Structure 1
């Protein structure tokens, strides 16, 4: 052990001497980082098909292939907007998400017509070699997205793929798919079907390159999106943000808030009580058209239950994290509260047009809505929460909101450890 330590110390001294020499010479060396394991096409296909909610029927096939066509159309629309509006952000950022969604639809259409996960990658490599005038060679199995990216990169200069021409190729291929029926696909020979989808994957990869994107990065980002929106298996909530703070600065792990409606018809308001003590101001709808927004603090409670986050309720409960001035000012401050109130109001207005989500099922809430919320909280601690957590908070919040409407008040219980939210109506005596 002593000898090993001596060798270790010698190595450490050698590294220090080498570092000092390089620093004197003005040379700064960065330790190489281990490269991420390459994502294979079959691995991506397996994870993507696991989240496919469409069946293998004619209608399911139609939805998938039109979904693919729609994503390509969305990509073209984003490019058009960026040129028309001279948007300051890179169009590549918007393109990456559209291309990732298109990839998801593509592999699910391929699975629907029984193209194997290995075949689509093999045929893509073969098509790329032909497009790039390379000699035909058998692909390494399993084909990886990094292999596809590398094949493109070694044969092109930066920006050498003309974007407009490549988008035209992709749109043309998507149009062909939109015209071929399920019966027609199944009438093709298996090799012909595989070639068809391999060509599509090639066009997607070349389109990625035209935006200076790697299809491996696009595929990984798409898997992260799928996992955040539609998790498989046992779900895991984000760790509570106040776990490391003193107990008096944490949300109570279990508590009940009573929503009490008072006043006469047309001028009623809601007050809230915690353990018999009124908290916050009395709330009205603040609208010319009555819509029961007076109960809207139930949405903030839902954020507590399912996100472990609510600057608004943290202030109401006097649980701001003052032991850390930076957290107190930024995470628990006025701007964070304004953002939370903005999200609650915006979602409420969206929900009014959809009967307060009475028929919404888990996994069905508009992805664009959730994505917009994610953008609004970017840079704040709650951005670590997954999209499915936001959906659960929203749908459960509206479920309890509808019960508060029906009973004109009641008690809402939060269990932060179990991530649950429940409603209990008042008894007749409690109402009195």
Structure 2
């Protein structure tokens, strides 16, 4: 017997607008509306470029996957432009349905209440025959209309309140629906996925961290909720190295830069500590502190095993190489770390427990780790105490107060 699954209520344009606006960082900056318009045009261009690369390079990622994410990003900008222009979501939706009905030769009709994405998808499904074979035409039409919206931008006094501009935004919304349908996608599903994506990247004012992955296990198999780790730099005939102490006990091996060009990578364990603070995860620190989860053999072997440690070390090294050409992220604010970098990190941990952590947690772990790394490598410090507080999700630094021998 097949058990019917309850369908989610339709996602209204008004609901999407309200939820997506929580991640709008353009409304509070000068010329923010102009940047939104350019952003929409850029996302449409990004859609075309991404599809070209998928086909040219025969990438594993499918056209449908690429299109869904890119259309979702374009949708975010389009709705943000409407919000900035004080265009009511209901009006935008009504004009979109009117545009599609005129396009399909269907008679105009009254729409009661708020318009939802399911209505747009349904109208396209009824009339949009053979869209897959006309995909190139649909994409070209969307690109031309996107150029038109950029052409309406007046830098000195941007106004999108005119009726013609409302119609243009509604037309673009309909075109996004048509392009989505050409990939056998629904605009409603794309909108829902986009909300998950943007709130995973930009969480808003209330931060809800994932529960520590070892929370259900005995305390002796949990990462310590507080870790005051001492980083001590020493010199030898062969060069400088770093050792670490926890409560006076040496932890791990001495570390050098392992590079022909000195770059202070010897302090890189601070990144693993940052992962503990903000992700509740680090197979490397778990092994160093001997708190592997041996009571659950599958977790011990897979989540805490050698492969997981290699992946974590690979992430730390890869991001370090990216950061050292960018002043170790000294000028990167929260919310500004490259999205592509965070997506790559997510792909590297796919299949592991930490994949459940949203991208904003990864960003905070990375930026906080580099903030403390910059302190450790200061000439007046060359080490110090790094304190992890897993419960408060903080990573703090105390400069050395004495010479450690």
Q: Give 1:316-327 correspondences, 5 Å limit.
A: 316-327=288-299
Alpha-carbon RMSD: 1.8
Contact 2:337–2:363 under 8 Å retained in 1: yes
Contact 2:47 2:67 in 1 (8 A): yes
**Structure 1, residues 318-357: CA drift from partner, whole Å, max 9, x if none?**
1111111111111111111111111101111111111111
Q: 1:344 to 1:58 in 2, by over 3 A?
A: closer
Greater mean deviation of Cα atoms: 103-112 or 56-65: 56-65
**SS of the residue 2:232 aligns to:** strand
3-state DSSP of counterpart to 2:396: strand
Length-normalised TM-score, structure 2: 0.95
Whether the 8 Å CA contact 2:226–2:387 is kept in 1: the answer is yes
Asked whether the 8 Å contact 1:115–1:193 carries over to 2, the reply is no
How far apart are the structure 2 equivalents of 1:188 and 1:383? 41
Work out which of the residue numbers 84, 92, 113 in structure 2 matches 1:112: 84
1:375 to 337, 343, 347: 347
Aligned partner of residue 127 in structure 2, secondary structure: coil
Q: Specify the alignment match of 1:411 in structure 2.
A: 385
Change (3 A) 1:188 1:334: closer
- Deviation track 1:373-419 (CA, whole Å, cap 9, x = no partner) reads 11111111001111111111111111111111111111111111111
Q: Does 1:155 align with 2:121?
A: no
The 1-side partners of 2:249 and 2:208 are apart by 34
How many Å apart are 1:186 and its aligned residue?
Answer: 6.2
Shift of 1:88: 3.4
SS of the residue corresponding to residue 245 of structure 2 reads strand
Distance 2:174 2:399 in 1: 59
Superposed, which structure 2 residues align to 1:256-267 within 5 Å? 256-264=228-236, 267=239
- Paired with 2:340 and 2:323, the residues of 1 have a C-alpha distance of 14
State the Cα distance separating 1:155 from its structure 2 match: 2.2
TM-score by length of 1: 0.89
Larger radius of gyration between Structure 1 and Structure 2: 1
Structure 2: 5+ residue stretches without partners: none
- Correspondence 1:95-244 to 2 at 5 A: 95-157=67-129, 159-160=131-132, 162-182=134-154, 190-244=162-216
Consecutive unaligned residues of structure 1, counting only runs of 5 or more, are 1-28
Kindly provide the CA deviation profile for residues 22-50 of structure 1, in whole angstroms up to 9, marking residues without a partner as x. Answer: xxxxxxx2100111121100111122223
In 2, Cα distance between equivalents of 1:187 and 1:344? 46
**What is the DSSP-based 3-state SS (H/G/I as helix, E as strand, rest coil) of the residue aligned with 1:46?**
helix
Partner of 1:245: 217
Checking the alignment, whether the CA contact within 8 Å between 1:113 and 1:186 is kept in structure 2 is no
Match of 2:50 among 63, 72, 78: 78
Give the corresponding residue for 1:292. 264
Measured after TM superposition, the shift of residue 77 of structure 1 is 0.8
Q: How many Å apart are 1:361 and its aligned residue? A: 1.1
* More displaced stretch, 116-125 vs 298-307: 116-125
Change (3 A) 1:57 1:294: closer
Structure 1 258/57 Cα, relative in aligned 2: closer, same or farther at 3 Å? closer
Superposition map of 1:246-395 within 5 A: 246-264=218-236, 267-395=239-367
Report how far residue 57 of structure 1 moved.
7.2
Instruction: Give secondary structure in 1 for the equivalent of 2:228.
Output: strand
Question: Per the alignment, do residues 264 and 219 of structure 1 end up closer, same or farther by CA in structure 2, a change over 3 Å counting?
Answer: same
Q: Which whole-Å CA distance do the structure 2 matches of 1:421 and 1:324 have between them?
A: 29
Q: Secondary structure at the match of 2:319?
A: helix
Conserved 8 A contact 2:33-2:158: no
Q: What is the SS of the residue equivalent to 1:225? A: helix
Structure 1 residues 183 and 310, CA, compared in 2 at 3 Å: closer, same or farther? closer
| Distance in 2 (alpha carbons) for counterparts of 1:107 and 1:75 | 17
The whole-number CA distance in structure 1 between the counterparts of 2:158 and 2:399 is 57
Query: How big is the shift at 1:158?
Result: 6.4
How many residues align? The count is: 403
